[in-house]
Structure 1
Amino acid sequence: MSVASQSISSSLVSYTSDEIATTYRKVTWRLVAFLFVCYAMSYLDRINVGYAQLQMKQELGFSDAVYGFGAGIFFAGYFLFEVPSNLLMVKLGARRTMMRIMIAWGLISAGMMFVNSPTVFYILRFLLGAFEAGFLPGIIFYLTYWYPSSRRARIIAIFMSAVPVAGVVGGPLSGWIMDSWSGYQGLSGWQWMFVLEGLPTVILGLIVPFILADRPADAKWLTAREKTIVADAVESDHASRGGDQPHSFGEALRDPKIYAFAFMYFAIICGVYAISFWLPTILKGSGVTSIFSIGLYSVIPYGVGAIGMVLIGSSSDRHAERRWHLALCSFVGAACLIGIAFSSGNLPLALVALSIGTASIFAGMPVFWAIPTAYLSGTAAAGGIAAINSLALIGGFVSPTVIGWAKEFTGSLNSGLYIMAALLVAGGVTVLLSVPRTVLAKGPAGHPTR
């Protein structure tokens, strides 16, 4: 809210715009910066199998279908345990929940070094999803304690830009580990990669209790006035939305909009993992042969994606507009997946399509989450956000599995990419048809976001 001073609480306490800005800078640097690093490690531990498979498939005799199914079964575990994890966070608090999640998934990720058969591969990937379940929706819900809806798209964009940044750092890092550590102590490069990228997450998990505060009132690093500024901003935001939103988890599950939201995000997730799990294979098919070079080239689309996420998220907040920002991200992303299919053997064209596609599809994530977090409140927010994410992350299973089977039977990723593009178009159309302006929270000026 860019006004010199205003009353945003029932007690009519006035705060200057400088006070509000200073307080939120403090909150962002303390919480969002740390959560950014945690999510980057989460995403790296989730997708580094895309680099590992460049060696694993040959060494262990895995087919593309085995890899695709193993990459996707992560989301079966995630789906089963996500809602209980998020509902439990309301009772246990963010600090204990995030510490448990991060330590467990870090140990399982490092344990991927023991994969020696498809069965072990499937079991560990399932367990990785089960232990990581609740992290992303938990953080999305946690941020609603701190930020009003008018600030969320930009903040969620900053937080979720950890996804492409994980690609920027993780691609060259994974390639270097697999090339340089191969054979050390009798282990393959892919085994060292899982160990060296999994254990830092355990360390971050141990740090969580010292960085996070469960709620603004518990933040010892905020002054009493700063705590009131944050609390009043969030309470004023809740009050401005009226009483027509679901407030309990049961009400949320009976609301058809929840399932429309889930399909929108499902389509985005299919696009995200079409790129994340198959980027190394796409680059290899474009003529890049060295694993380390594949890691370096992957910096380009992920770097563009990180910039695009922040710029598009900021634009969505600045214009108080969600629907068209999200729909256009889906449509442009679909066009780029089709472009990738036509770029086989042409590295420059592949990089252009990958870069624009990554920026568009990945930017859809934070813009999307600004919609349901504005619509849901109370227990409905904790359970509803997790339910949406759980249903949508079926796309994380569908996408690599369908593309893996397509490549297995046709020798090309193209037909799988066409299916993912069609889903993105369907998701964009659903946004425009199913999300009326009245569903969204009121913007800073008191007008509904569009």
Structure 2
Amino acid sequence: MAHQHLEQAHALRKAVDRKTVRRVLPFILAAYFLCYLDRVNISYASLEMNADIGLSEAAYGIGAGIFFVAYFIFEVPSNVLLTKFGPRIWIARIMITWGIIAGCMSLAQGPISFYVLRFLLGVAEAGFFPAMILYLTYWFPARRRAQITAMFFMAVPLSGLVGGPLSTWLMTEAHGLFGLRGWQSMFIIEAVPTVLLGIAALWILVDRPEKAKFLREDERSWLVAELRLENQAVSASGHSPKGVFRTMLTPVVLAMSLIYLGLEFGEYAIGFFMPQMVAALDEQFGGDLGLVQIGFITAIPSLVAVLVMIWWGRHSDRTQERTWHIIGPAVLGAIAIAAAPYVTSFWATIALYSVTAACVFSVIPVFWQLPSRYLTGVSAAVGIALINSVGNLSGIIAPSLTGVLKQATGSFGPGYLLIALFLVIAAVGTLILRKAVPPTASVPSTEAISTVLSEGQRVR
């Protein structure tokens, strides 16, 4: 009888896993794909836009980074408001407003208007990524969250894999549309799906499992019970603080913020400058690549990252190990990018870019499993937002320093070494955090969840 009951419990768990993935994952993957595309498509536009509106490399780097000033200022308030209005309404609001402003990037006429539009885009989008990370904790238990987060975060390299060729193709084929330059048409065309998906979010998203009509009552009860047991374990550990400001000043949250700052430095330096890096390599090795060819080559590191990151997230979930799944790729990525200036082959350099991209994109989904081991409730909303805000300061630092160093030295080499340094800092910080504050295990067994349900704790 007990064996039969356990088999039924496993079958119920599998049904819940299957239905939540089918309902939640496609939307958040599509939304984050559009989010990242609208955020970094200026890297492709820069191939023409900079000359058209008079942007120097340093000015472009500053403009790329000023987006994150607004993000830093408004991200925590945005995630707090999400807990008040609910994910469905708040995520829809974010997507609609950022889509409109992303299209308005076509109106940039010079450095000042470029800076203003990038700042407004940051205001509109602030809170989206931490809202998605928090939303995943509402629907997916810790035992499989790294893999799910990797599938969600796959949108970032996918935006490079698809967005590079797409954006450069639009810049070529839509040039002259309504009298616009190619980069202007690209901004407008790529913004339209964001607004439409934001409107659709009002019907697609469900705030919490308790309201999920796509789950049967026993399936809702199972999911709620599993998540409740996880949160109780985290609360009992004493790591999760109470209150907004206390959470923001907690050493564990500040440590995770600095770790994420190091990881994000690599992502944004690569994300905003990869097309220019490839163009510089082509010039260095005497090539003659066209705009669309640069777009396709820029997609190669993203393709490698997509192939690696899901496997890495699944491996981390299977072992329930997080620390070395962060440290290992961070160190390997640092070595690869530090070696790039010393390679004397175009394709060998692209291979090193690919290793670094795969490492950075694989490690970030695993990193995002750390906050849920220490934080729960409103503290999780505040902590996740602050961690992402501080991490996204790399969006200011990385493009700005990379652009300034490139302009001063005529080479991306010093920027590569900075990426390596920040990745090493992240690896060391992760090890120190693990030694100083060991996380509490919060993955309830199938038997424990079955016991909770058999005692009559059902969703009402």
Shorter-chain TM band: over 0.9
Q: What residue is the counterpart of 2:337 in the other structure?
A: 337
More helix by share: 2
Question: Partners of 2:23 and 2:76 in 1: how far apart?
Answer: 27
Report the secondary structure of 1:156's partner residue.
helix
Q: What residue is the counterpart of 1:64 in the other structure?
A: 57
Question: Partners of 1:443 and 1:350 in 2: how far apart?
Answer: 42
Question: Partners of 1:50 and 1:254 in 2: how far apart?
Answer: 35
| 1:368-387 map, 5 Å | 368-387=367-386
Question: Partners of 1:123 and 1:231 in 2: how far apart?
Answer: 44
Report the secondary structure of 1:286's partner residue.
helix
Shift of 1:68: 0.4
Call closer, same or farther: CA 1:140–1:268 in 2, change over 3 Å.
same
Question: Partners of 2:5 and 2:423 in 1: how far apart?
Answer: 43
Larger deviation, residues 204-213 vs 140-149: 140-149
Aligned mate of 1:273, from 268, 271, 285: 268
| 1:41-440 map, 5 Å | 41-241=34-234, 242-248=236-242, 249-287=244-282, 289-343=289-343, 346-436=345-435, 438-440=438-440
Shift of 1:15: 5.1
Call closer, same or farther: CA 1:406–1:339 in 2, change over 3 Å.
same
Question: Partners of 2:278 and 2:440 in 1: how far apart?
Answer: 40
Call closer, same or farther: CA 1:164–1:278 in 2, change over 3 Å.
same
Gaps of 5+ in 1: 7-13
Which letter maps to 1:308? V
Do the aligned residues in 2 keep the contact of 1:108 with 1:128 (CA within 8 Å)?
A: yes
Q: What residue is the counterpart of 2:285 in the other structure?
A: none
Shift of 1:440: 4.6
Shift of 1:247: 4.0
CA offsets, 1:88-127, max 9 Å, x none? 1001000100010000000000000000110000011011
Q: What residue is the counterpart of 2:456 in the other structure?
A: none
Gaps of 5+ in 2: 283-287, 447-460
Larger deviation, residues 140-149 vs 40-49: 140-149
Report the secondary structure of 2:139's partner residue.
coil
Shift of 1:179: 1.2
CA offsets, 1:127-163, max 9 Å, x none? 1111101111011111111122222111111111111
Question: Partners of 1:433 and 1:80 in 2: how far apart?
Answer: 28
Shift of 1:253: 2.1
CA offsets, 1:48-94, max 9 Å, x none? 00000000112222110011001111100111110000001001000
Which letter maps to 2:227? V
Question: Partners of 2:292 and 2:269 in 1: how far apart?
Answer: 21
Do the aligned residues in 1 keep the contact of 2:102 with 2:187 (CA within 8 Å)?
A: yes
Which letter maps to 1:128? L
Shift of 1:5: 5.1
CA offsets, 1:144-189, max 9 Å, x none? 1112222211111111111101111101000101111112322111
Do the aligned residues in 1 keep the contact of 2:229 with 2:444 (CA within 8 Å)?
A: no
Aligned mate of 2:21, from 28, 44, 47: 28
Question: Partners of 2:441 and 2:68 in 1: how far apart?
Answer: 30
Q: What residue is the counterpart of 2:458 in the other structure?
A: none
Do the aligned residues in 1 keep the contact of 2:93 with 2:198 (CA within 8 Å)?
A: yes
Question: Partners of 2:348 and 2:105 in 1: how far apart?
Answer: 34
Do the aligned residues in 1 keep the contact of 2:231 with 2:442 (CA within 8 Å)?
A: no
Do the aligned residues in 2 keep the contact of 1:320 with 1:443 (CA within 8 Å)?
A: no
Do the aligned residues in 1 keep the contact of 2:230 with 2:444 (CA within 8 Å)?
A: no
Report the secondary structure of 1:213's partner residue.
coil
**Cα root mean square deviation, aligned:** 1.7
- Would you identify which runs of 4 or more consecutive aligned residues in structure 1 move more than 6 Å? none
Number of aligned residue pairs: 436
Q: What residue is the counterpart of 2:450 in the other structure?
A: none
Call closer, same or farther: CA 1:211–1:245 in 2, change over 3 Å.
same
Question: Partners of 1:175 and 1:384 in 2: how far apart?
Answer: 38
Question: Partners of 1:353 and 1:398 in 2: how far apart?
Answer: 22
Percent identity for Structure 1 against Structure 2: 38
